[in-house]
Homo-oligomer: A and B are copies of this chain.
Amino acid sequence: MPEDADNAPETPRLLLHELNRGEAAARAADALLVLPVGATEQHGPHLPLGTDVLIVEAIAREAARQARPDLDAIVAPTLPFGSSHHHLPFGGTISLATDRYYAALADMVESLITSGFRRLFILNGHGGNHEVVQLVARDLVLRYPVNIAAASYWDLAREVLASSASRDVLGGRFPGHAGDFETSVILALRPDLVGPLPRRDADALARAGTPATPFRAERHGFWRQIDGHTDSPHAATTERGQQLLDLIIPAVASAFRQFAAMPLE
């Protein structure tokens, strides 16, 4: 489609949905396509249902911007729904069952491959998606000559956080769910959407919760017992949220660069 490619603006756009087909086709072979995936689900009594989308979209787009000019990054629309069945007993959750989420995501990535992209990075912002995004990545590289990365943003930032002033965040539930970490970040991104911060003492949480274990312990009724948030958000602040974002986003940008530099077969 060379005639279409002539329409490409001088400064390449970042967002896939703002490109036209010619621009997408012209850049696909060499670009890094970032696919952010989130969730719409309960986040305690105080955070908006779109918390995961707000965070992962902000991180994905800003990290992609920062990764330039080392690479040509294109960010796809965020999938705003994920695997959230464990939150269905609370209000406002939209969720896909595991097998359907896997199938939908695989179709999405496969069509991007069909469109010519060869380096794809699924950036995840919701714990419930963590395993599925990895499965999609590993399964599709077996069928197509492409490289695919899958990661939850918090894993990309763990190292840099450890050597930062905010390293205490790693001592608790990180990222947790609707607790101190996510509340701080939403305070930084969209303070207008945050309600009064609930306080829960650590003892109450300990009584209800599952201790940290080297195995995955799934217990019926767990999320109801902890009222849908993993740790107390009462001390969250806007400043802390911004500090965390300032650490996380460069770490994600760095991951984008590292992955984009890996050779294709």
Contacts and interface: CB of A to CB of B under 8 A. Distances in A.
A21 B45 contact: yes
A181 interface: no
A40 B76 CA distance: 9
Interface in A1-52: 1, 3-4, 7, 15-26, 28, 40, 42-50
Contacts of A26: 91
Given A24-B91, A76-B40, A141 B219 contact: yes
A232 interface: no
A106 to B, nearest CB: 8
Interface string A99-136: 11111100110011011100001000000100110110
Interface residues on A, range: 35 or more
B217 A92 contact: no
A139 B85 contact: yes
A77 B40 contact: yes
A165 interface: no
A265 B219 contact: yes
A215 B138 CA distance: 12
B148 A215 contact: no
B17 A45 contact: no
Contacts of A69: none
Contacts of A258: 213
Contacts of A15: 50
Contacts of A97: 107, 139
B142 A21 contact: no
A145 B218 CA distance: 11
- A-B pairs with lowest CB-CB distance, top 7: A17-B50, A25-B91, A24-B92, A151-B215, A131-B131, A221-B265, A21-B42
8 contacts: A22-B45, A88-B111, A98-B135, A131-B132, A138-B218, A145-B221, A147-B217, A155-B215
Given A7-B195, A17-B49, 12 more contacts: A16-B50, A20-B195, A21-B43, A25-B92, A88-B115, A94-B112, A95-B108, A96-B108, A100-B107, A141-B220, A151-B216, A213-B258
